[in-house]
Amino acid sequence: MIGAMACVVRRDLALALRRKGDAANTLVFFVIVVSLFPLGVGPERALLQSMAPGILWVAALLSALLSLARLFEPDYADGTLEQMALSVEPLTVLMIGKILAHWLLTGVPLTLLAPVLALQFDLHADAIAVLCAGLLIGTAALSFVGAVGAALTLGLRGGGVLSALLVLPLFIPVLIFGSGAVVAVESGLDATAHLQLLAAFLLVSVVIAPWAAASAVRLALD
Amino acid sequence: MKVELSALTTSPQVKQVNNAASERIHWFWFASPQTFYPLAGRMVPWFVWLAVLLCIAGTYVGFFIAPTDAQQGDAYRIIFLHVPAAWMSMFLYVVMAFWAGVGLVFNTRLSSMLATAIAPTGAIFTFLALWTGSLWGKPTWGTWWVWDARLTSELILLFLYFGFMALQAAIDDPRRADRAGAILALVGVINVPIIYFSVVWWNTLHQGASISMKSAPTMAMTMLLGMLLMALAFWMYSLATILSRVRSIILEREWHTQWCKEEIRRAS
Amino acid sequence: MAHSVVQGRNSESVVIWSSWSEFVAMGGYGFYVWGSVAMVVVVLVMEMIMLGRRRRAVFEKSARNNGGGSETAA
Torsion B171-B175-B179-B185 (CA) sign: positive
Q: Cβ(A59)–Cβ(A113) under 8 Å?
A: no
With CA atoms as reference, the chain B residue closest to A179 would be B202
Residues 6+ apart with CB under 8 A from B29: B5, B35
Closest C-alpha to B66, from B204, B209, B224: B224
pLDDT score recorded for residue A31: 94
In the structure, what pLDDT confidence band is assigned to residue B260 with cuts at 50, 70 and 90? confident
pTM, two decimals, is: 0.86
Which residues are registered as beta bridge partners of C5? C15
Q: How many domains does chain B have?
A: 1
pLDDT score recorded for residue A158: 78
CA distance B77 to chain C (A): 7
Tell me which residue in A162, A170, A177 faces B166 most closely, judged by beta carbons.
Answer: A162
The 8-class DSSP code of residue B67 comes to P
CA A119, CA A34: separation in Å to the nearest integer?
Answer: 12
Number of alpha helices (DSSP H) and beta strands (DSSP E) in chain A? 9, 0
- DSSP for B186-219 reads HHHHHHHHHHHHHHHHHHHHHH-S---GGG-SS-
In a domain, C53, yes or no: yes
Which range, of A157-161, B66-70, B130-134, B181-185, averages the lowest pLDDT? B66-70
pLDDT score recorded for residue A147: 95
Q: Which residues of chain C are within 8 Å of residue B128 when distances are taken between CB atoms?
A: 39-40, 43
A207 in helix, strand or coil? Answer: helix
pLDDT score recorded for residue A100: 95
Query: Which residues constitute the domain of residue A217?
Result: 2-221
CA C54, CA B171: separation in Å to the nearest integer?
Answer: 19
Q: Which residues of chain B are within 8 Å of residue C23 when distances are taken between CB atoms?
A: 63
Helix (H) or strand (E) holding C6: strand C5-7
Cα angle value B77/B83/B84 (rounded, 5°): 105
**Which of A95, A148, A167, A172 best probes binding to B when mutated, by most B CB atoms within 10 angstroms?**
A172
With CA atoms as reference, the chain A residue closest to B192 would be A170
Q: Higher pLDDT residue, B82 or B11?
A: B82
Query: C-alpha dihedral over A208, A211, A213, A214, to 10 degrees?
Result: 170
In a domain, C26, yes or no: yes
Q: Is the pLDDT of residue B13 over 70?
A: no
Query: B187 and A148 in contact by Cβ < 8 A?
Result: yes
What letter represents residue A168's amino acid?
L
In the structure, what pLDDT confidence band is assigned to residue B28 with cuts at 50, 70 and 90? low
Query: Which residues constitute the domain of residue C41?
Result: 4-68
Tell me which residue in B75, B128, B264 faces C39 most closely, judged by beta carbons.
Answer: B128
Percent with pLDDT over 90 in chain C: 30
Query: Which residues constitute the domain of residue B140?
Result: 44-209+217-267
Which residues are registered as beta bridge partners of C22? none
In the structure, what pLDDT confidence band is assigned to residue A99 with cuts at 50, 70 and 90? very high
pLDDT score recorded for residue A142: 96
CA B188, CA A167: separation in Å to the nearest integer?
Answer: 10
pLDDT score recorded for residue B32: 83
pLDDT score recorded for residue C74: 40
Which residues are registered as beta bridge partners of B69? B73
Residues 6+ apart with CB under 8 A from B20: none
Query: C4 and B65 in contact by Cβ < 8 A?
Result: yes
Which range, of A150-164, A167-181, B171-185, averages the lowest pLDDT? A150-164
Touch B-A: 3+ C-beta pairs under 8 A: yes
Percent with pLDDT over 70 in chain B: 83
Other C-beta atoms within 10 Å of B122: how many? 27
CA B80, CA B58: separation in Å to the nearest integer?
Answer: 8
CA A66, CA A150: separation in Å to the nearest integer?
Answer: 10
pLDDT tens-digit series, residues C5-35 = 443 444 334 567 788 888 888 888 888 999 9
Average pLDDT, chain B: 83
Tell me which residue in B73, B222, B251 faces C58 most closely, judged by beta carbons.
Answer: B251
ipTM, two decimals, is 0.90
Q: Is the pLDDT of residue A92 over 70?
A: yes
CA A139, CA A67: separation in Å to the nearest integer?
Answer: 12
Which residues are registered as beta bridge partners of C6? C14
- Kindly state whether C54 is in contact with chain B, defined as any CB-CB distance less than 8 angstroms: yes
CA A20, CA A28: separation in Å to the nearest integer?
Answer: 12
In a domain, C42, yes or no: yes
Q: How many domains does chain C have?
A: 1
Residues 6+ apart with CB under 8 A from C39: B128, B131, B132
Mean pLDDT on C50-56: 92
Which range, of B110-124, B205-219, B247-261, averages the lowest pLDDT? B205-219
Closest C-alpha to A209, from A71, A84, A113: A71
Percent with pLDDT over 90 in chain A: 59
Which residues are registered as beta bridge partners of C14? C6
Q: Is the pLDDT of residue A32 over 70?
A: yes
pLDDT tens-digit series, residues A46-65 = 888 888 999 999 999 999 99
What letter represents residue B229's amino acid?
L
Pairing of strands C13-15, C5-7: antiparallel
Residues 6+ apart with CB under 8 A from B33: B109, B110, B113, B250, B253, B254
pLDDT score recorded for residue B71: 74
CB-hemisphere CA count at 13 Å for B241? 27
pLDDT tens-digit series, residues B192-233 = 888 888 888 887 766 543 444 454 555 677 888 888 999 999
CA distance C24 to chain B (A): 11
CA A112, CA A119: separation in Å to the nearest integer?
Answer: 13
In the structure, what pLDDT confidence band is assigned to residue A217 with cuts at 50, 70 and 90? very high
In this complex, how many residue pairs, one in chain A and one in chain B, have their CB atoms less than 8 Å apart?
Answer: 76
pLDDT tens-digit series, residues A72-88 = 988 898 888 898 888 88
CA B163, CA A162: separation in Å to the nearest integer?
Answer: 8
Q: How many domains does chain A have?
A: 1
Residues 6+ apart with CB under 8 A from A96: A5, A206, A210
- Kindly state whether C4 is in contact with chain B, defined as any CB-CB distance less than 8 angstroms: yes
Mean pLDDT on A109-137: 92
pLDDT score recorded for residue B118: 96
Torsion A72-A76-A77-A82 (CA) sign: positive
Q: Is the pLDDT of residue B23 over 90?
A: no
Query: C-alpha dihedral over B130, B131, B135, B138, to 10 degrees?
Result: 50
Q: Cβ(A12)–Cβ(A103) under 8 Å?
A: no
What letter represents residue B249's amino acid?
I
pLDDT score recorded for residue B26: 62
Other C-beta atoms within 10 Å of A64: how many? 26
Residues 157-196 of A with CB under 8 A from B: 157-159, 162, 165-166, 168-170, 172-173, 176-177, 180, 183-184
Which range, of B113-117, B145-149, B176-180, C4-8, averages the lowest pLDDT? C4-8
Tell me which residue in B78, B261, B264 faces C32 most closely, judged by beta carbons.
Answer: B78
